[in-house]
Amino acid sequence: MDDFLVLQQRMWDQWAPHYNAEHHQRDPAAAADFLADLAGPDRRALELAVGTGRIAVPLAQHGLTVTGIDASPAMLDELHRHRGEHPVTTRVADMACFDTDGTRYGLIYVVFSSFYFLMTQPRQAQCLARVARALAPGGHFVIEATVPRAPGLLAGRQQVAVRDLTDTELSLSVTVHDPLTQTVRFQEIRFDATGTRMLPVALRYVHLSELDLLATAAGLRLTGRYADWHRTPLTASSPQHISVYTLNGAHP
């Protein structure tokens, strides 16, 4: 196992017991509807960085057979603890160099900016090449990610933000941004009656033009881009993007 995958495992294993509670406000219904509409006739989907299955399980409820890969065994344990009888299979893998043993999927997707966790441009390019290899003809690859914007982090400032404050709890986010490497490192810090909890995150963001160049080099072409799962048009002020790619005509 390479050093990168070990580091990812350690980070997301820390998150696993807390991930669903930390993101309980996210409703997966619109994402599942959007993705199910793009699924191929075989109704098979592959999720990269599947985590606790917050999208994979609702998508399986639409009748898809979902395979998920993730760096964290603990996150996958959480997924199987909550998936019930829904057809979601998983394995530990690095999404930069995953292998599907020749299986091609009509739908491959990565959400919640997880594509940014690949941390370097070469690894992000390698991931897209693997996606192109695993995508069925006529299939779709979907990325949901935040849109890098000039204010805040991209102005190069270190930041401490108060996420929540009650009589019994305090939640902070501490971030450090390196604009030269396009990397951001977070600590999500939680104080409550049980003590202190620190949940780390590290990412390398990708500008939209860069993402499209990397995708083109991998044999993918952009077919749609939206501000949310309801297909709202993307604008300069949109905080996130949903980008949809398919194989270009020249790719095998």
Residue 20 has pLDDT above 70, yes or no: no
Q: Identify the residue with better confidence: 27 or 95.
A: 95
Distance, CA of 136 to CA of 170 (rounded, Å): 47
Domain total of the chain: 2
Residues 80 and 135 occupy one common structural domain: yes
Q: What is the mean pLDDT of residues 143-170?
A: 77
Q: What is the mean pLDDT of the chain?
A: 89
Residues 89 and 192 occupy one common structural domain: no
Residue holding tokens 């993307």? 234
User: Which token pair is 32?
Assistant: 């599942």
User: Which token pair is 99?
Assistant: 């292998």
| 132: number of Cβ within 10 Å | 21
CATH number, position 172: 2.20.25.570
Range of lowest pLDDT (51-60, 113-122, 160-169, 208-217) = 160-169
Residues 234 and 193 occupy one common structural domain: no
Residues 60 and 105 occupy one common structural domain: yes
Confirm whether 252 is domain-assigned: no
Q: What is the mean pLDDT of residues 150-170?
A: 72
pLDDT digits (tens, 9 = 90+) for 71-123: 999 999 989 888 777 779 999 999 999 999 999 999 999 999 999 999 999 99
Residue span of the structural domain in which 107 resides:
3-147+206-247
pLDDT of residue 201: 86
Residue holding tokens 């690894």? 123
Verdict on whether the full-model pTM lies above 0.85: yes
| 184: number of Cβ within 10 Å | 21
User: Which token pair is 117?
Assistant: 């966790």
Residues 93 and 178 occupy one common structural domain: no
Residues 74 and 157 occupy one common structural domain: no
Amino acid letter for position 51: G
Residues 10 and 93 occupy one common structural domain: yes
User: Which token pair is 248?
Assistant: 């270009």
DSSP states along 233-245? BP-TT-SEEEEEE
CATH number, position 41: 3.40.50.150
Confidence of residue 42 (pLDDT cuts 50, 70, 90): confident
Distance, CA of 248 to CA of 252 (rounded, Å): 9
Residues 102 and 221 occupy one common structural domain: yes
